Amino acid sequence: MEIGYLGAFLMGLFGALHCVGMCGSIMGVLTFSLPEEIRKDPLQLMGYLSYYSLGRILSYTLAGTLAGAFGAGLLFRISPQYGHTILLLMATILMIAVGLYLAGWFPAFAHIEKAGAPIWRKLEPIGRKLLPVSTPWQALLYGLIWGWLPCGLVYSALFIAIGQGGMMQGGLFMLLFGTGTLPAVMATGIFAEHVMRFSRNPKLRMIAGILLIVFALTGLIINW
């Protein structure tokens, strides 16, 4: 009754346009804040973008580890059978909501994503102090903070991570989810203007939203 690790990767991949919408502007700002000599050197630029993304994915992995520990230590001891079912339903509903939001059919979802705003308000000023980024370590630290940006897609993945059965499993699930988001976010860092324009295409967003909804429903049917 588990959404597997391949599912975690595909979830991140199918949610790519949501990632570009949420993280694209941040990645664009970070890219343009780098010294000109780094921006003009493809290898150096890729290195800094990789550090940003590594930090972000490490934060996802930490959150997944904590979520997995919570699930193993509390929720499933109380109700192993029904706890898993409830989490699966909640994750499915959240993924469908993200899909509807992407497709332009549920704009109110933007309010739901603000659930993590209190944490972000405390972390965001710390991130600002790291700008402009001039060293790989700064890029990594900024990525670690960036990983806590409120995001409905991440919340959906964390609900599933809770049900993975343990700390390691929850952490691995979120690691693979973060890896799935990597192509879109990295592309935004390199081709910021073009990718952002591409991501705003209504038809493309509708297709991506429908794919995410289909993935959510398929996961529910398979794992029910």
1: Cβ–Cβ under 8 A, 6 or more apart, which residues?
Answer: 84, 88, 223, 224
- pLDDT(17) > 80: no
Over residues 162-184, the mean pLDDT reads 91
- pLDDT(194) > 70: no
Distances (CA, A) of 212 to 35, 40, 43, 221, 224: 37, 36, 33, 14, 18
Which tens digit of pLDDT belongs to each residue from 80-139?
A: 667 777 777 877 888 888 889 888 898 887 777 777 888 889 998 998 899 888 899 999
pLDDT tier for residue 1 given thresholds of 50, 70 and 90: very low
> What sign has the CA pseudo-torsion 151, 154, 155, 156?
positive
Residue whose token pair is 């794919």: 211
* pLDDT at residue number 81: 66
Over residues 169-193, the mean pLDDT reads 88
pLDDT tier for residue 78 given thresholds of 50, 70 and 90: low
* pLDDT at residue number 153: 84
CB atoms within 10 A of CB 197: 10
- pLDDT(79) > 60: yes
Please give the model's pTM, rounded to 2 decimal places: 0.86
pLDDT tier for residue 193 given thresholds of 50, 70 and 90: low
CA 65, 67, 68: angle at the middle one, nearest 5? Answer: 65
Over residues 141-156, the mean pLDDT reads 90
When mean pLDDT is compared across 8-22, 69-83, 89-103, 202-216, the lowest value belongs to 69-83
Task: Supply the angle between the helices 42-70 and 167-190 in degrees, to the nearest 10.
Answer: 150
Over residues 13-25, the mean pLDDT reads 75
CB atoms within 10 A of CB 185: 25
* pLDDT at residue number 162: 86
Cα–Cα distance measured from residue 101 to residue 199, given in angstroms and rounded to the nearest whole number: 13
Instruction: Answer whether 151's CB lies under 8 Å from 64's CB.
Output: no
- pLDDT(180) > 90: yes
pLDDT tier for residue 205 given thresholds of 50, 70 and 90: confident
